[in-house]
Amino acid sequence: MIRVIIADDENRICKLIMKLVDWEEIGMTVIGTANNGVETLELIKSESPDIVITDIRMPGYDGLDMIERAKKIDMDLEFIIISGYSHFEYAKRAIGYGVKDYLLKPINKEELLDALLRVKKSILKKESYMNLENEYRDYLKNDMNTTKKPLVILEHNSENKNALQINQAKEYIEANYMNSITLEDVGAYIGFNPSYFSSIFKKETGTSFVEYLSMVRIEKAKELLKEPDLRIQDISLMVGYNDVKYFSKLFIKHTGLKPKEYRKIFA
């Protein structure tokens, strides 16, 4: 069961969020609520949640400062921000901390549920990678005293390791797409040289690194375009493109629509 904490300075908002979702149905449980940043940090320390839903404006530490401190306690902790403040700088800082979703009040049940399911998918994927990595380490440990290994086992081992590292690369891209990341950056992160990483990434995913990065950025841009208070140029920056014209060109390539057209249809 995925453990959730809800933090908002208004207790009625905490109660509303609790009522909006059938937590058991989506495999989650609310383990506590807090009304300020200090209480939230204490709950994080004592209850070890998987997800924290938090307002930006709270007494003690505001939501973003609290997230920065909480990440030092648990780097894998996931956050969903809910706020009445639609300013770009808040959203930009939140994304910089790896916040998965930035939702605006009044709270929409469908948007909240979608955000929770996206974060759940990320958590389960991360757990799957960790299990695979642990199995691989156990295999190597148990096999240390073996002097000869059949070629088929070596090949299978190598394929598993490549799949694991490419999944780690995809996680890195999805967590850092808003920054100017390069093939070299991601390759170094997983321990591959750029040319080998490029080759293996395309083999495992069926697409190039550059195309995959663009796809991730455009998918996030599609989500942000549903926020009417965010300007197109701001969204372009938030997903890693300093040139709004280039962003629009890529958006058209991936969706067949201009960003403004997409917003009119889907916002």
**Residue 86 predicted with pLDDT over 90:** no
Helix 244-255 to helix 209-224 angle (10° resolution) is 90
Q: How far apart are CA 101 and CA 81, in angstroms?
A: 6
* 143 confidence band (pLDDT: 50, 70, 90): low
Selected residue with higher pLDDT from 3 and 167: 3
87-96, 138-147, 165-174, 194-203: least confident range: 138-147
Selected residue with higher pLDDT from 108 and 4: 4
Report how far Cα 200 is from the mean position of its chain's Cα atoms.
23
Of 62, 63, 90, 92, the C-alpha closest to 79 is 63
Percent of the chain at pLDDT exceeding 70: 83
The confidence score (pLDDT) of residue 133 equals 64
**Residue 6 predicted with pLDDT over 90:** yes
Q: How far is CA 123 from CA 3, 27, 78, 95, 164, in A?
A: 11, 12, 8, 17, 16
The confidence score (pLDDT) of residue 106 equals 84
